């Protein structure tokens, strides 16, 4: 049996996205799996039923893993998990590969990759595109930064929960491209939400509004995802919290500022989303902007 076939996998972050990843690593990939026991996890009874084991600390998980997948909120969480007193690096086994599927700042990613290498491990930044539904179906796409040889070592693990895995450059490029991707995606949806709100306030039939855009320059994936919320008020098609959208836009703004790039449009998107969060709607889904940006704000 090839060494990769018996790789022991650990995952930290069994939330909306991580649960699907964990399930498919077990059920489709057949890999032994350990996960960090954490109150933010989704229910894990099904994972335990498939043979997964819970670990009390990131260090405990490092002891039990040949490859560790991180699927947490952002850079502060990644840094704490890796470098904390009982963090992964405190007990990292030589040769362990860290696969960071979180959305993170490239500058932080480079620091964490260097710390992992100094501890004897290897590092890939592999942020995800698509949604929690795709995670459960095992059809996520990954944008991977790092060494090609390290990616080859874990391809069988990644294949268990993905449809596409693209090597986009050295360490840091995965997270850089994820922020560019999310800026464009969130920006499109924020623009559509604001336009849909204005159309609704003016009495435009929402079905006609969607149809006109779909037949012209407004067509695209963003409109397809937003259409149920615009036409029927069903915001569940895009299960992505506005809080997280604001975090991702703020990361993009930081990345752009650090490189001296223009970010005037990003600043506008950030301001619009921040206002919605300040009104207490951070845990609404982003497609609900079509409702929340109306002049007469409907009740949450």
* Residue 116 and residue 93 in contact, taking contact as beta carbons nearer than 8 Å: no
Helix axes 106-118, 242-259, angle to 10 degrees: 80
pLDDT of res. 6: 78
Architecture category of domain 176-292 in CATH = Orthogonal Bundle (1.10)
Domain ranges (residues) in the chain: 3-170, 176-292
Q: Dihedral through CA 291, CA 297, CA 298, CA 300, nearest 10?
A: 80
* Residue 278 and residue 271 in contact, taking contact as beta carbons nearer than 8 Å: no
User: Residue 242, by phi and psi: left (phi above 0), alpha (psi -120 to 50) or beta?
Assistant: alpha
pTM: 0.90
* Residue 140 and residue 163 in contact, taking contact as beta carbons nearer than 8 Å: yes
Q: What is the DSSP string of 99-157?
A: EE-S---HHHHHHHHHHHHHTT-EEEE--EES-HHHHHHT-EEEEEES-HHHHHHHHHH
List the pLDDT tens digit at each of the 300 positions of the chain.
344 457 999 999 999 899 999 999 999 999 999 999 999 999 999 999 999 999 999 999 999 999 999 999 999 999 999 999 999 999 999 999 999 999 999 999 999 999 999 999 999 999 999 888 999 999 999 999 999 999 999 999 999 999 999 999 999 999 999 999 999 999 999 999 999 999 999 999 999 999 999 999 999 999 999 999 999 999 998 889 999 999 999 999 999 999 999 999 999 999 999 999 999 999 999 999 999 999 965 555
Q: Dihedral through CA 39, CA 23, CA 20, CA 148, nearest 10?
A: 110
Question: Who contacts 268 (Cβ-Cβ below 8 Å, separation ≥6)?
Answer: none
For 165-237, where are the alpha helices, taking DSSP H only? 173-201, 206-214, 221-232
* Domain 3-170 classification at class level: alpha beta
Between the two ends of the chain, the Cα-to-Cα distance in Å is: 55
pLDDT of res. 2: 41
- CA angle 218/133/122 to nearest 5° reads 105
Neighbours of 296 (CB within 10 A): 7
pLDDT of res. 297: 56
Instruction: Give me the sign of the Cα torsion angle 234, 239, 245, 247.
Output: positive
pLDDT of res. 131: 87
Catalytic site positions: 178
- CA angle 64/67/72 to nearest 5° reads 95
The encoded tokens of residue 242 equal 């506005």
C-alpha 221/C-alpha 62 separation (Å) is: 39
Residue in 148, 98, 149, 137 with CA at minimum distance from that of residue 120 = 98
Instruction: Give me the sign of the Cα torsion angle 247, 251, 256, 258.
Output: positive
């Amino acid at each position: 049996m090839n060494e990769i076939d018996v790789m022991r996998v650990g995952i930290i972050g069994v939330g909306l996205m991580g649960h699907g990843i964990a399930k498919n690593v077990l059920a489709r990939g057949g890999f032994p799996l350990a996960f960090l026991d954490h109150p933010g996890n989704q229910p894990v009874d099904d994972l335990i039923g498939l043979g997964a084991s819970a670990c009390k600390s990131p260090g405990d998980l490092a002891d039990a893993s040949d490859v560790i997948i991180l699927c947490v909120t952002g850079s502060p969480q990644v840094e704490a998990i890796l470098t904390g007193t009982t963090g992964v690096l405190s007990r990292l086994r030589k040769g362990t590969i860290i696969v960071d599927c979180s959305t993170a700042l490239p500058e932080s990613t480079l620091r964490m990759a260097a710390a992992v290498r100094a501890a004897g491990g290897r590092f890939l930044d592999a942020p995800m595109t698509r949604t929690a539904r795709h995670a459960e179906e095992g059809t996520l796409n990954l944008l991977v930064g790092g060494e090609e040889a390290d990616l080859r070592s874990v391809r069988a693990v990644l294949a268990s929960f993905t449809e596409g895995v693209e090597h986009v450059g050295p360490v840091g490029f995965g997270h850089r491209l994820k922020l560019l991707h999310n800026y464009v995606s969130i920006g499109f949806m924020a623009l559509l939400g604001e336009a849909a709100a204005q159309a609704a306030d003016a009495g435009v039939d929402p079905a006609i509004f969607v149809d006109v855009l779909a037949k012209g320059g407004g067509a695209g994936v963003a409109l397809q995802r937003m259409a149920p919320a615009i036409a029927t008020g069903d915001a569940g098609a895009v299960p992505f919290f506005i809080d997280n959208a604001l975090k991702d836009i703020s990361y993009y703004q930081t990345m752009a500022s650090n490189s001296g790039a223009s970010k005037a449009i990003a600043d506008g998107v950030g301001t619009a989303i921040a206002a919605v969060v300040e009104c207490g709607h951070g845990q609404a889904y982003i497609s609900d902007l079509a409702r929340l940006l109306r002049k007469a704000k409907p009740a949450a």
